[in-house]
Structure 1
Amino acid sequence: MLYFSYGSFLDFETLKKYCPNARIVGKAILPNWEVQFNFLSRTYNGGATGIEPAIGKIVRGVVYDVPDEEMIVLDKVEGTHEGIYFRQTVIVVDEQGRPVKAATYRTTNPRGPYKPTKKYLSLMIKGAKEHRLDEEYIKELEKIDTLD
């Protein structure tokens, strides 16, 4: 299954802990949505990302190909069974400008904004650099205020 990641799982090493057979498909954008730190994570003790519709905004991320049985593991990690996040199909645009159907996760009850921890934000930045996402986006991430 194709999975569009925009948060801490931009860091491929972190994703591989839960989805060892995942493979990178490539960069993609999700037009008319934006990333928000709209969930207070117990795992990271700070803000975690979700996406919400936003005309004129863009979510930058990566598409991975994840085996179905590992997506079930990812559902558990994302807390879908607890109602923390839910999986949604979105249409992203790949590097060649083609529409691609992919699963992503959204916060069930968005709140905040909450400041992320350095650890959480560093995973996003590391992944954004690893996948060579837009330089301006990386600079925006680096300016985000953290809790610590």
Structure 2
Amino acid sequence: MLYFAYGSDMDWNLMRKKCPSTRFFSRALLDQFKLVVARESSQWKCGIFGIIPEDKSQLWGVIYEISLFDLGKLDVSEGYNPLKKDCGCLRKECIVYKEGDNNFPLTVFSYFPEIMPNPPPLSLEYLNKVIGGAHYWHLPKGYIANLNRLLPKS
């Protein structure tokens, strides 16, 4: 299965720990979506990213290939339960563009956490995982610069 990761799952070591079958497939662009602080994570003890539709926005991430066995592990990690309607997160198919090229659309799945009112802020540790993953996979420099703007000013 092809999974589009846009948050802390872009961190290669974290993703392989969660899902040992993980194989990198490609960088990708999810057009007309943007990152938002969605909800609190019990794992991270801070706010985490979710995504929402927004015209003229572009969201970069990576596509991993994972096994069906590891899909269950990833569902648990992301807070998705297919047997519960109100689990706080959905796993949905979406169309992304391999390497940002509109000539190469791919159907993948990703997670869409419920957007909560007034979520807590992102932690430095969480942001560093996201930004580190973006650097590791060589996402576009402008996109990484936008992520860096979210870091606290020292």
What interval of TM-score do these two structures reach, taking the shorter chain for normalisation? over 0.9
Deviation of 1:112 after TM superposition, in Å, equals 3.5
Q: 115, 127, 141: which is aligned to 2:147? A: 141
Corresponding residue SS for 2:118: coil
Deviation of 1:32 after TM superposition, in Å, equals 0.6
Deviation of 1:67 after TM superposition, in Å, equals 0.5
Q: 92, 106, 109: which is aligned to 1:103? A: 109
2:81 matches 1:51:
no
CA distance in 1, matches of 2:132, 2:118: 24
Structure 2: which 5+ residue stretches go unaligned? none
Deviation of 1:46 after TM superposition, in Å, equals 1.3
Where in structure 2 are the equivalents of 1:42-81 lying within 5 Å? 42-81=42-81
Q: Which residue of 2 aligns with 1:25?
A: 25
Contact 2:39 2:114 in 1 (8 A): no
CA RMSD for the aligned pairs? Answer: 1.5
Structure 1: which 5+ residue stretches go unaligned? none
CA distance in 2, matches of 1:80, 1:26: 24
Contact 1:38 1:47 in 2 (8 A): yes
Runs of 4+ in 1 over 6 A off after TM superposition: none
Contact 1:115 1:145 in 2 (8 A): no
Deviation of 1:102 after TM superposition, in Å, equals 0.4
Deviation of 1:44 after TM superposition, in Å, equals 1.4
Contact 2:10 2:61 in 1 (8 A): yes
Contact 2:50 2:115 in 1 (8 A): no
Corresponding residue SS for 1:133: coil
2:149 matches 1:129:
no
Cα pair distance change 1:114/1:145, threshold 3 Å: farther
Q: TM-score, normalised by structure 2?
A: 0.89
CA distance in 2, matches of 1:18, 1:36: 23
Deviation of 1:84 after TM superposition, in Å, equals 2.5
